[in-house]
């Protein structure tokens, strides 16, 4: 059975930062990450990718984008080709974040097409899934997430080029966090869906938790079974907080 992966702590800067503060934040993260065991990635807005890439060059911090188009190239004003993201130094690209699903009407099929385009360009897609508060309250969280995993991870995916992030929509930016039992149940269900597809190789797929991860709750969340790191929003905008979350990841 494959070894469980080194935890990955990825910072999704969302639509924040300008050039100078983005460069400074990236440099601070790069310097601070060196002594830490976890893997790190930062995902700035697309226009900042070259600046941030330069700031983290030679460090252990990987570069990620926040979205890509499903098509390889063409007339898609304002969008970004996965190949361009790779060309500017990205290792990862987030696809299917709930803010994209909500703001841009992205369906599981669209997310799967983006993940496929990302992998075809040599990127590792971070495929996001997560239930709404109404679905959580109705006890439908696990079923919703299982459906999203089945529909958003493309048929062509390979286990060694895939990250899944579980982000309950109601926990994002809210300060609310599911219980560790809830997180364990959903991550276990995601692992089972991946195992149905990839067999033993599913053990090597990182399943990140995202939603109000802070230095104060990181150790508890990152210690849950089947949690292989975190996708961090607000706390990734502060280097000390982001690094403290990475420092809380269990050694593997
Ligand atoms: O992609 C990151 C998530 O949406 C989590 O955001 P948050 O840490 O601000 O809750």
Report which of 244, 247, 242, 219 is spatially closest to residue 43, judged by C-alpha positions: 242
Phi, psi (degrees; rounded to nearest 5) at 231: -110, 110
Residue 191 has pLDDT above 60, yes or no: yes
Asked if residue 138 is part of any domain, the answer here is yes
Residue 242 lies in a domain: yes
Binding residues for substrate, by number, are 12-14, 173, 212, 233-234
Say if residue 251's pLDDT is above 90: no
CA of 232 to the centre of ligand 1 (A): 5
CA-wise closest residue to 190 among 235, 227, 158, 221: 227
Residue 72 falls inside a structural domain: no
Q: Among all residues, which ones are annotated catalytic? A: 97, 167
Atom 2 (ligand 1) nearest CA: 233
**92: CATH:** 3.20.20.70
Q: Total structural domains in the chain?
A: 1
pLDDT value at 136 more than 80? yes
Q: Which atom of ligand 1 is nearest to the CA of 98?
A: 4
Quick check: is 74 in a domain? Answer: no
Q: Which atom of ligand 1 is nearest to the CA of 171?
A: 10
Please check whether residue 219 lies inside any domain of the structure.
Answer: yes
Q: Is 32 helix (H, G, I), strand (E, B) or coil?
A: helix
Question: Alpha-carbon distance 200 to 181, whole Å?
Answer: 24
Q: How far apart are CA 44 and CA 42, in angstroms?
A: 6
Q: What is the ipTM, given to two decimal places?
A: 0.99
Strand-pairing partners, residue 229, are 8
Give the domain extent around 19: 8-66+84-247
Ligand 1 atom closest to the Cα of residue 212 is 10
Distances (CA, A) of 60 to 57, 89, 211: 8, 13, 24
3 domain-assigned: no
Q: Does residue 89 sit within a domain?
A: yes
Q: What is the DSSP string of 107-144?
A: -HHHHHHHHHHHHHTT-EEEEEE---HHHHHTT-HHHH
Going from the Cα of 129 to the center of ligand 1, the distance in angstroms, rounded, reads 12
Q: Which residues line ligand 1 (CB under 6 A)?
A: 12, 97, 167, 172-173, 210-213, 231-235
pLDDT in tens, 14-48: 999 999 999 999 999 999 999 999 999 999 999 99
Domain annotation covers residue 104:
yes
The percentage of the chain sitting over the pLDDT mark of 90, rounded to a whole number, equals: 98
* Between 251 and 151, residue with greater pLDDT: 151
Residue whose C-alpha is closest to residue 12's, from 249, 193, 210: 210
């Amino acid at each position: 059975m494959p070894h469980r992966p080194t935890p990955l702590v990825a910072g999704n800067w969302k639509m924040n930062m300008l050039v100078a503060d983005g460069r400074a934040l990236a440099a601070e993260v790069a310097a601070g990450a060196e002594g830490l065991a976890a893997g790190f990635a930062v995902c700035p807005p697309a226009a900042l990718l070259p600046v941030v890439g330069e700031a983290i060059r030679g460090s252990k911090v990987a570069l990620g984008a926040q979205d890509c188009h499903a098509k390889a190239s063409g007339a898609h004003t304002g969008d970004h080709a996965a190949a361009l993201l790779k060309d500017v130094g990205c290792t990862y690209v987030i696809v299917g974040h709930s803010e994209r699903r909500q703001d841009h009407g992205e369906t599981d099929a669209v997310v799967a097409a983006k993940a496929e385009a990302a992998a075809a360009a040599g990127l590792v897609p971070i495929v996001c899934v997560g239930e709404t508060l109404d679905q959580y309250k109705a006890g439908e969280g696990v079923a919703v997430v299982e459906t999203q995993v089945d529909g958003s991870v493309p048929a062509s995916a390979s286990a060694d080029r895939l990250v899944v992030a579980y982000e309950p929509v109601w926990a994002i930016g809210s300060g609310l966090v599911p219980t560790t039992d809830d997180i364990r149940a959903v991550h276990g269900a995601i692992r089972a869906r991946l195992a149905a597809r990839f067999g033993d190789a599913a053990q090597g797929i990182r399943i990140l938790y995202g939603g109000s991860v802070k230095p104060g709750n990181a150790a508890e969340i990152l210690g849950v079974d089947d949690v292989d790191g975190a996708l961090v929003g607000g706390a990734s905008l502060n280097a000390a907080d982001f690094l403290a979350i990475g420092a809380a990841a269990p050694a593997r």
